[in-house]
Each structure stands twice: as structure tokens, then as C-alpha cells.
Amino acid sequence: MTKSLLFLLALTCGSAVAARAQHHPAGAHPMPGMAHSSPGMTSMKMDHAAAPGTPVAAFQHGMDSVMVVMDEGMRRMTGASPDDIDASFAAMMLPHHQGAVDMARLQLLYGKDPALRRLAQSIIAEQQVEIQQMAAWLKQHPVAAQSSK
């Protein structure tokens, strides 16, 4: 790809991720009242030592934005009652998987290692199928979805 096309892709992806993150407060924990299950993951903040305007800085900013959106989505559990284990699982996994897709897209935009790029492509394909399965499950179980209203 040409440098201008890569720049346009980076700008588009960064803008989309930033727009999603703009509506969600930073620092939200996915499960109120519970400790982090994976130390450093839900509150991970990239080291912003990279020079502004560089691909590294854009990648770090993108990853930070993805984490904020994912954490907030997991905390809200849209479409599920906290008392419904199955619906809670599906509702929390949706933003978790979408976060993985968004992170993999950032890898494809900025990463260079062929093995990691193949892994990112695989993550995108597999996680999108699972996102569709969980969304379909939530639609097929309206009682679980309605219990949060």
C-alpha cells in the first residue's frame, strides 16, 4: 500500500475509534465492585512516550480508546439483567470481542510482523462470527433482554 493510503486508513480507523470512545468515560471498570481479573488489562494505559503524530503514538491512542469503549460496554451489559448469568455473559462478551476486533484492526494498520498480521486477520474473522452468535442469542431471548429495562 502507498503511504497516503496507509495514512488515510489510519486516520479513518483512529477517528472511528475516537468517536466511539468520546461518549464513554475513561477509567470505568467493567464489573463494579470486583477486582480486575487480569492485572493491568482493564485499566491498561499505553506509555505515551511516542512522539505525537507518529504511527506509534497513533497506535497507542487507538488502543487506549478501544480499551475505554470496551470497558464501558462490559460495565453497562446492554441487553442483560445482572441476575441473568447467560444474558450477562453474552452482553459482556459482545464489547469484549468487539474490542479484540478493533485492536486487531489497529495491528493491521500499524503492525509489520507477518505472523501477528495473520493472527490479527484471524481474530477479526473469528470474533465477528462470535459477535453475531451472541447478538442473535440475545435477540432470541427477549425475556433476558427485557429484564434490564
Residue 83 lies in a domain: yes
Instruction: Tell me the pLDDT tens digit for each residue of 21-33.
Output: 444 333 343 333 3
Query: Is 50 a member of any domain?
Result: no
Residue 60 lies in a domain: yes
Residue 38: inside a domain, yes or no?
Answer: no
- 121: in domain: yes
Q: Is 142 exposed, middle or buried (0-12, 13-18, 19+ CB in 10 A)?
A: exposed
The reply to whether 122 falls in a domain is yes
Interaxial angle between packed helices 85-110 and 3-22, expressed in degrees from 0 to 180 and rounded to the nearest 10: 150
Q: How far is CA 72 from CA 24, 28, 66, in A?
A: 6, 6, 10
**In the chain, how many domains are there?**
1
- Contact partners, residue 140, CB within 8 Å, separation at least 6: none
Q: Which domain holds residue 139?
A: 3-21+55-146
Q: Quick one: DSSP state of residue 23?
A: T
Is residue 7 helix, strand or coil? helix
pLDDT-derived band at 13, boundaries 50, 70, 90: very low
Residue 3 has pLDDT above 90, yes or no: no
pTM, two decimal places: 0.64
Instruction: Encode pLDDT of 104-142 as tens digits.
Output: 999 999 999 999 999 999 999 999 999 999 999 988 886
45 lies in a domain?
A: no
